[in-house]
Amino acid sequence: MMLRRFFARFLPLLMTLALLTGTAIQAQDVPRSITFFLTFIPNIQFSPVYVAIEKGYFAEAGLDITLEHGDEPDGVNLIAAGERLFGMISGEQVIAARANNRPVRFVYEWFQAYPVGVIVSDDGTTESAADLRGRKIGIPGPFGASYSGLIALLTANGLTEQDIQLESIGFNAPQVFCAGAVDASVVYVNNEPIQIANLAAQGECGEVSGISVLNVADFADMVSNGIITNEDTIANEPELVAAVVQAFHHGLRDVIANPAEAYLLSLDYVESLPRSEALMDALGSAAAVQREMLEGGAEGESAAARASLLADLRTRFDPADLLQLEILARSIALWEAPRLGYSDAESWQVTQDTLIQMGVIDAPIDLSAAYTNDFLPGEAEASS
């Protein structure tokens, strides 16, 4: 009886304390909101970020990620000012920013091969980069990665911009090249060559029946895109930097291992992705098969699995239905490396030399302060 009276008297108080205690625990466990800056617009190439979100890698690190797209220079300015803490930015922008005393730093190299090249007709008239001399070459404009990559390619082959006819064509390489308005065009090697090859195969690319691509990466090892943050965040919240890098790293690794799954997980982020019922069924089956293979220890066979997947799908779907998956597969080839995320000192030097030659910066900076590999997963163990 006394026990019942005790609970009757104090139950409201006990319930209130329980609610307050639960609220306090929840407050401690509230994820930290982070806005992650991405360039361009939502795109299948950002699938490592989407996968890291969808599979809970950021959430496991206590992070609630919001994605923001915008122009790359704006992203650099926001991160340098501490208004954003992380973003996907090119190494060129990092060097240029640090040359102007903006404290940004590269902490994870996403693209391991520079994604720019020059596309030419496969008619035997251009056997090497040296054959570009005197040719009219289309380019989006004298800016950005396309321009930097072209200058690096020309320099590596003993040419200068004055040795070619450079034509600004915007981002219209397939149309302009197939119309015969230029002899060659600077392209992103994971995108436009697929479109142009499809047009040529359908007889819709003028006199072009086949293409070749001169990849900048075959001539010059330059730094492309990766995760950057600012010096304050590195100094004051290194654990946050490590958490963001780790989450993205897991997402990237999963995309490389299972692109069909990555495509499906990207659907809510990229509205333009083809999503017919037949394609969804095919990719769902392929993703499940690949997961089983990975569980069986076939992680090192991802390249062969990608090739097999695409070969099978090409027999069942139109090129237009597979374009974005093809872009993803070619992007993965640019991301892969023995050690994901690692930055090489020589590639930073080549990138800086190119920027000085272009007049983007006037003098060399301390490149060792522009990037770090300290936050790569396993770095602590590797250095101990």
**Which among 153, 238, 230, 225 has a CA at the least distance from the CA of 190?**
225
Does residue 295 have a pLDDT over 60? yes
What three-state secondary structure class fits 194? helix
42 touches 238 (CB < 8 A): no
- pLDDT at res. 297: 73
Q: pLDDT tens digits for 161-182?
A: 999 999 999 999 999 999 999 9
Does residue 42 have a pLDDT over 80? yes
Here the tokens at position 289 are 């098969």
- pLDDT at res. 85: 99
- pLDDT at res. 300: 63
What is the distance between the alpha carbons of residues 293 and 99, in angstroms, rounded to a whole number? 48
Does residue 301 have a pLDDT over 90? no
What is the distance between the alpha carbons of residues 202 and 175, in angstroms, rounded to a whole number? 14
What is the distance between the alpha carbons of residues 358 and 303, in angstroms, rounded to a whole number? 36
Average pLDDT over residues 289-310: 85
Does residue 230 have a pLDDT over 90? yes
- pLDDT at res. 298: 67
**Which among 67, 55, 57 has a CA at the least distance from the CA of 248?**
57
Average pLDDT over residues 37-53: 98
What single-letter DSSP state applies at residue 31?
Answer: P
**Which among 114, 94, 54, 108 has a CA at the least distance from the CA of 262?**
54
Does residue 69 have a pLDDT over 90? yes
- Give the CA diameter of the chain: 102
Does residue 368 have a pLDDT over 90? yes
- pLDDT at res. 27: 34
pLDDT band per the 50, 70, 90 thresholds, residue 311: very high
Does residue 124 have a pLDDT over 70? yes
Does residue 330 have a pLDDT over 70? yes
pLDDT band per the 50, 70, 90 thresholds, residue 384: very low
Write the DSSP string, 222-291. ---EEEEEEHHHHHH-HHHHHHHHHHHHHHHHHHHH-HHHHHHHTTTT-TTS---HHHHHHHHHHHHHHH
Mean model confidence pLDDT for the chain: 91
Class of residue 356 by CB neighbours under 10 A (exposed 0-12, middle 13-18, buried 19+)? middle
Average pLDDT over residues 36-56: 98
User: Which residues share a beta bridge with 66?
Assistant: 35
What is the distance between the alpha carbons of residues 28 and 12, in angstroms, rounded to a whole number? 25
Does residue 8 have a pLDDT over 60? no
pLDDT band per the 50, 70, 90 thresholds, residue 293: confident
Average pLDDT over residues 214-228: 98
Average pLDDT over residues 313-326: 97
Write the DSSP string, 95-126. HHHHHTT--EEEEEE--SS--EEEEEESSSS-
